[in-house]
Amino acid sequence: MKKAYLILDGGQVFEGYRFGAEGDAVGELVFNTGMVGYIETLTDPSYCGQIVLQTFPLIGNYGMNEEDWEGKPAPSGYVVREWCDTPSNFRSTGTVDAFLKKAGIPGIFGVDTRQITRIIRERGVMNAVIADSVPADLSALHTYTIADAVRQVSCQAPAVYPAQGEEKHKITLIDYGCKKSTIQWLTQRGCTVTAVPYDTCAKDILAAAPDGVVLSGGPGDPAENTGCIAVLRDLLGKVPLFGVGLGHQMLALAAGGKTCKLKYGHRGANQPAKELLGHRTYITGQNHGFAVDMDSIPEGGRVTLVNANDGTCEGIEYPALRAFSVQFDPQTCTGPLGKSPLLDQFINWMGGADNAAE
């Protein structure tokens, strides 16, 4: 086993062993609390530019399977306590180590992930590097920032995903780093989805005459995407809009609100999002480091969901504009038999009857 080091921007050094791809990895160090779902984590575009630490101690026990990928591998690096080189799963087609090597993602194992997680929770997310030795010059670590993340993960050309079964609605999805499961969630409910690149102009989107527009999740600071936000301003009030994750944040910015960076974000599969006007609490999957500032939401917008742990904004409605958004992945919290009040609301605003509203 080859030694490796995880060096934090705060000066802490953790010695472990290398797995995955060779080479150094610099990125923003974040932690994910999911007990399962490491395949989806490693292929989630929202991790672009970040080194992902898994708090669950054993990773890789059920192997890897490309059918479960959410997108192209996106993290800059990977940190685990222990990885399993002998997965037990009839669907497995390889190991985490082999996946990381092929994807070019350096990893480190054998470090105290609990201690590192405590540091991040106390001091906030910080830059880190995975290296074979402690570099004498850490200037690249100190100055690293995630830039142009949306451009890196968005699709390059429009793509059409037909509805499963009878087509009920035609939706344009603006791809800021969309997860495959989001598209599947829509097509399973009778929506034909046309995914378009992040920089598609409002004129071209409206010219296609979609029943509604979905704003996908994605990575990075929402405020840096000034061109995308300008497009959303041009779309507001002209077509029903449904924002998810980064799309939720940029929709708020387009409406006149503000966003703020969280201390260590929400990354995991058990974030509770509580309705303010109802009785439902969604147990959601999330991956974000920014949130909408609830005090900045302009007149005409109203908060519909808050995080039951820290009170941050999880959902906003703009009724007069036929627009609403959620911070979490809606496909992770659908109800029995595939019902989803969130999608039902969007369908109602598109003027379609789905017979599934609750």
> How many beta carbons lie within 10 A of that of residue 203, not counting itself?
9
Q: Per-residue pLDDT for 334 more than 60?
A: no
d(CA 115, CA 235): 46
Per-residue pLDDT at 339: 52
Indicate if 138 and 164 belong to the same structural domain. no
Residue 56 is assigned to a structural domain of this protein: yes
Q: Per-residue pLDDT for 305 more than 60?
A: yes
Residue range 126-138: mean pLDDT, rounded: 93
- Average model confidence (pLDDT) across the chain: 93
Residue scoring higher pLDDT (199 or 140): 199
Q: Which residues contact 237 (CB under 8 A, 6 or more apart)?
A: 320, 321, 322, 323
Indicate if 211 and 97 belong to the same structural domain. no
Indicate if 99 and 201 belong to the same structural domain. no
Hey, which residues does 268 pair with through a beta bridge? Answer: 286
Residue 134 is assigned to a structural domain of this protein: yes
Per-residue pLDDT tens digits for 244-278: 999 999 999 999 999 999 999 999 988 999 999 88
Residue scoring higher pLDDT (93 or 339): 93
Domains held by the chain: number: 2
Beta strands 77-80 and 191-196: pairing type?
Answer: unpaired
Per-residue pLDDT at 356: 36
Residue range 51-68: mean pLDDT, rounded: 97
Structure tokens at 320: 């007069």
Residues spanned by the domain of 242: 150-349
Residue scoring higher pLDDT (337 or 28): 28
The domain that holds 120 is classified in CATH as 3.50.30.20
Per-residue pLDDT tens digits for 84-109: 999 999 999 999 999 999 999 999 99
DSSP assignment string, 52-100: EEESSSEE-TT-B-GGG--SS---SEEEESEE-SS---TT--B-HHHHH
Residue 195 is assigned to a structural domain of this protein: yes
Q: What pTM did the predictor assign?
A: 0.93
Structure tokens at 223: 């405020």
Indicate if 301 and 208 belong to the same structural domain. yes
Structure tokens at 315: 């959902």
Indicate if 178 and 320 belong to the same structural domain. yes
Residue 72 sits at the vertex; the CA angle it makes with 230 and 183, to the nearest 5 degrees, is: 60
The domain that holds 252 is classified in CATH as 3.40.50.880
Confidence of residue 354 (pLDDT cuts 50, 70, 90): very low
* C-alpha neighbours within 13 Å on the C-beta side of residue 35: 1
d(CA 71, CA 340): 23
Alpha helices, DSSP H only, in the chain? 38-42, 96-103, 113-123, 139-143, 149-153, 180-187, 202-207, 226-235, 246-254, 341-349
Q: Per-residue pLDDT for 358 more than 80?
A: no
Q: Per-residue pLDDT for 337 more than 70?
A: no
Contacts for 303-310: CB closer than 8 Å, 24+ residues apart: 303/276, 304/275, 304/276, 304/277, 305/273, 305/274, 305/275, 305/276, 306/273, 306/274, 306/276, 307/266, 307/271, 307/272, 307/273, 307/274, 308/272, 308/273, 308/274, 308/281, 309/271, 309/272
d(CA 10, CA 92): 38
d(CA 283, CA 309): 11
Domain-ending residue, one of 100, 124, 146 = 146
Residue 309 is assigned to a structural domain of this protein: yes
Residue range 320-325: mean pLDDT, rounded: 94
Give me the percent of the chain exceeding a pLDDT of 70: 96
CA-based nearest residue to 64, from 44, 84, 35, 34: 84
Residue 355 is assigned to a structural domain of this protein: no
Residue 358 is assigned to a structural domain of this protein: no
d(CA 153, CA 4): 29
Residue range 40-52: mean pLDDT, rounded: 97
Domain-ending residue, one of 146, 168, 188 = 146
